[in-house]
């Protein structure tokens, strides 16, 4: 069995003063070359809080603030289920969340059956350990900026002036268990555990 995450966090003094574990979620890392390409899209929008490239990622499942027992159960079940083959993934467009009041700008992931299966497996694991599934539809993406006060027209103009999105493709060879500070988002995100996928 994997070493207890709670014991590791305790020894490394990463539990908060309230005794709470960091906020957890599963996801995919973004390779450095893709980070660099996405980072070139930063700027040009007032009120945007641009996410640092080293914090780019694709969220699979949100876990939240959990106790030691649940954290260890999740980690153990993810390790047992890490039998998926590696696969290719493609970022192919820019989009926003929030409709007429956009709150985030992101790079969207092209429809990918392997990714959908992997995310569904994570959802099943969370249900198995007693966690409620996320009510939101899974929309795989890399968040680029948190928006405040920008209109939908301003954001649409920004996307237009960025020009055609040249697709960015990379191979997913592992998924990870991330932790984050309890904040409004944007990082820093830390890899707590990694799970390698089988070579395709």
Active site residues: 57, 141
Confirm if 67 and 73 have CB atoms less than 8 A apart.
Answer: no
Q: Extract the runs of DSSP E, i.e. beta strands, from the chain.
A: 23-29, 48-50, 57-64, 87-97, 104-109, 141-147, 168-172, 174-180, 189-196
CA angle 108, 174, 42 (to 5 degrees): 35
Q: What is the DSSP letter of 151?
A: -
| Residue the block writes with tokens 């906020």 | 23
Name the pairing type of β-strands 104-109 and 174-180.
Answer: unpaired
Sign of CA dihedral 133, 136, 142, 144: negative
- Distance from C-alpha of 158 to C-alpha of 165, rounded to nearest angstrom: 12
Tokens of 65: 């603030």
Q: Roughly how many angstroms between the first and final C-alpha of the chain, as a whole number?
A: 26
Give the SS3 label for residue 123.
Answer: helix
């Amino acid at each position: 069995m994997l070493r207890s995450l709670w014991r590791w966090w305790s020894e490394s003094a990463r539990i908060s003063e309230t005794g709470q574990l960091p906020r957890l979620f599963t996801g995919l890392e973004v390779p450095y070359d893709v980070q660099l390409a996405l980072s070139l899209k930063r700027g040009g929008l007032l009120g945007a809080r641009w996410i640092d490239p080293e914090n780019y990622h694709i969220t699979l499942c949100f876990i939240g603030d959990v106790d030691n027992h649940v954290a260890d159960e999740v980690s153990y079940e993810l390790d047992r289920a890490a039998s998926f083959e590696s696969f290719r993934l493609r970022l192919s467009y820019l989009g926003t969340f929030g409709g007429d009041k956009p709150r985030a700008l992101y790079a969207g992931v092209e429809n990918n059956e392997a990714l959908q299966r992997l995310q569904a497996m994570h959802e099943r694991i969370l249900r198995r350990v007693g966690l409620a599934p996320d009510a939101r539809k899974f929309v795989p993406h890399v968040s680029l900026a948190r928006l405040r006060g920008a209109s939908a027209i301003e954001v649409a103009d920004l996307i237009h002036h960025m020009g055609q999105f040249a697709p960015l493709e990379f191979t997913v060879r592992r998924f990870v268990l991330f932790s984050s500070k309890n904040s409004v988002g944007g990082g820093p995100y830390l890899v707590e555990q990694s799970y390698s996928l089988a070579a395709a």
